[in-house]
Amino acid sequence: MQLAAVRLGQLPERVAVAGPCPLDQLGCHVTLFRGSHPGTDTALGPNWAPGFAALRGPHCQRKEPGMMLKDKVAVVYGGAGAIGGAVARAFAREGATVFLAGRLRAPVEAVAEDIGAAGAAEVDALDERAVDQYLRSVVDRAGRVDISFDAIGIPDADIVGVPLVDLDAARFARPITAYATSYFLTARLAARRMIPNRSGVIMTATALPARAGIPLMGGYAPAQAAKEALTRGLSAELAPHGVRVVGLRPQAMPESPTIREAFEPRAAATGLSWEQFQEFLASRTHPRRLMTLAEMAEVATFLASDRATALTGTTVNLTMGSLDD
C-alpha cells in the first residue's frame, strides 16, 4: 500500500477523520489531521507536517520524507572534535558516506566506529600533500567527494586571554595561519575534484568574534573573519562551476571544550565563574539559551543537502539573536 501527502484547506480544530478517498473514487483511505491544534490525534507521527492528509491506497502516489544526504560522500576534517564529530554524526544519520580526518588517529577512529563512518585517517590539514593524498584515497574508494567540511580547531588556551597590546606576533599569527590555511587547503583540493562533476559543497564553521568586537580574543577573531572572507571568495570563483561554499557561525555551544577554553579567560577577567558566564551569554540571545551541538549539526546537514542549492557565498548566523545581521 502506498502513501502520499497533500496540503489541506481550512480544517476544524481537533480533527482526526478517516473515510473513503474522494479523489475520483480511487478506493483510497484518507486520514485528515491538524497537528497544530491541542488534542489533535496526529496519527502519522512526527515526520508529517501539520495540516496534511494521508492518502492510502493502490493508486496514491508515494511521497515519504527521505534522508537529506543519501548517496552523498562527505569528508569531515577535525572529525574527532566537538563540532566535527557532531556534524559527522548528523551527516551519517542522513545517509551520507562519511570519511573522517584528524590530527590524531585514535580519537578519529573512535568517532568513526561510533557512527559507522566509511573511513578514518590521521591527516594534518596544514600539510597540502597529506590532504591531497587523503582525498585521492577517498575518491579511489567512493568515486567522488560531494561535501568537504572543515572543522579544524587548535587549543585556545595560549592564543586568547591576552590583550592585543601585550600579545607577541607569533601568538597572534598562530590561529590565523592554522584556521585560514587549513580551510584554504581543504577547500582548494576538494574543489579540484568537484569542478569536473559540476557539483559539490564546501563548508566550514566560524564563530561570533568574526563579526563582533570582543576583548582578549587575540588572533582568534581575525582568523574567523578570514575564514568568512574566504567563504565569499571561494564561492565567487566556484559557484559558476556548480560548487557551493557556505559557512556556519554558531556561538558558545557549552558542550564544546574549545568554547570553554576560548571564553573562560573572559569569564575570569570579569570575575565570573564559567557557569555564570554561560548564563550571561545566554541572556544575550533571543530565546535566552545557548545553541546545542545537535542544533548546529542539523543546520549543517541542511546546508550540505540539495535542499539548500540557493545558499552559497554566505555564513549562516547561528548566534540565536546575539548578533544582528
| Domain co-membership, 296 together with 206 | yes
Other CB atoms within 10 A of residue 261 CB? 17
For the ranges 5-9, 175-179, 321-325, the lowest mean pLDDT is seen at 5-9
Residue type, 191: A
| Domain co-membership, 17 together with 153 | no
For residue 67, being part of any structural domain is answered with no
Local structure of residue 157 (DSSP, 8 states): T
| Domain co-membership, 79 together with 45 | no
| Domain co-membership, 40 together with 183 | no
Residue whose entry in the numeric block shows the C-alpha cell 599569527: 173
For 158, phi and psi rounded to 5 degrees? -105, 10
Split at pLDDT 50, 70, 90, the class of 173 is very high
| Domain co-membership, 49 together with 14 | yes
For residue 23, being part of any structural domain is answered with yes
Residue 148: the pLDDT is 99
Residue 278: the pLDDT is 85
Could you give the CA distance from residue 281 to residue 273 in angstroms, rounded to a whole number?
A: 12
Number of domains in the chain: 2
How are strands ordered across the β-sheet holding 52-57? 2-7, 52-57, 29-33, 16-20
Per-residue pLDDT tens for 45-101? 333 333 333 333 333 333 345 799 999 999 999 999 999 999 999 999 999 999 999
- Domain end: 18, 33, 57, which one? 57
For residue 37, the enclosing domain spans 2-57
| Domain co-membership, 208 together with 304 | yes
Could you give the CA distance from residue 25 to residue 31 in angstroms, rounded to a whole number?
A: 15
| Domain co-membership, 109 together with 202 | yes
For residue 278, being part of any structural domain is answered with no
- Domain end: 57, 84, 104, which one? 57
CATH number at residue 117: 3.40.50.720
Could you give the CA distance from residue 108 to residue 104 in angstroms, rounded to a whole number?
A: 7
| Domain co-membership, 50 together with 88 | no
For residue 113, being part of any structural domain is answered with yes
| Domain co-membership, 105 together with 211 | yes
Per-residue pLDDT tens for 181-222? 999 999 999 999 999 999 999 999 999 999 999 888 899 999
Per 3-state DSSP, the chain is made up of helix, strand and coil in percentages (nearest 5) of 40, 20, 40
| Domain co-membership, 43 together with 171 | no
Could you tell me the pTM of the whole model?
A: 0.78
| Domain co-membership, 34 together with 170 | no
| Domain co-membership, 126 together with 219 | yes
